[in-house]
Amino acid sequence: MNPDLVRLLAELSVPYPDMRLGQVVEMLASLAEDTASSDGRDARLLNAGKAHLLRRLGQLGRSEQGLDEESLPAARADLLAALRGAGPGVEAVLTGWARAGGTRLYDAEDETLLAAARPPVRLGDWFLRQALVGGAAE
C-alpha cells in the first residue's frame, strides 16, 4: 500500500471530521477523474488529494502542521493501520471491504470497513492456539 496515500487520507480526515473514510476516498476519486494523467490510480488519488488538501486548509486558515493520526477517532486510526498492511490499490481494497460488509464504499461506516479488514478468528484456530499455549506451559 502506498504509505503517502494512507498518510494523506489521515490528513484529509482532520479537515473533514464528519466524513467517513469511504466518502473521503470517493471524493478523491472524483477529483482524480478531473486530472489528465497516465499515472496509476493511487498516484492520481494522491496528486488530486494533495492539491485539494492545500486548497481546503487555505480555506480553513490552517497549515499542514499538526495533521496526524493522533487527532483521529480510534476506528479511523485502526482502519488506516489496517490499510497500510493491505495490498495495492486503496480504492479497490476499501471497495472490497465495503462489499464484504454488505454496502457500497460511500455508505460504509469506518467500523464496517474495519470489521471486514480483520479476518474473523475461527473457533478451531482459537482452540488449537489454546492447546499449544497450554501444552507449552506444562
Closest CA to 100 of 127, 120, 72, 84: 120
Residue type, 104: R
**What values do phi and psi take at 130, rounded to 5?**
-65, -40
CB-side neighbour CA atoms (13 Å) of 5:
26
| pTM to 2 decimal places | 0.79
d(CA 56, CA 136): 56
- Per residue of the chain (138 residues), what is the pLDDT tens digit? 788 999 999 999 989 989 999 999 999 999 998 665 556 888 999 999 999 999 999 999 988 877 765 578 899 999 999 999 888 889 999 999 999 999 999 999 999 999 999 876 566 665 666 677 665 444
Cβ-contact 27, 9 below 8 angstroms: no
d(CA 132, CA 76): 34
Would the CA dihedral through 15, 39, 80, 64 be positive or negative? negative
Query: Cell digits for 112?
Result: 464496517
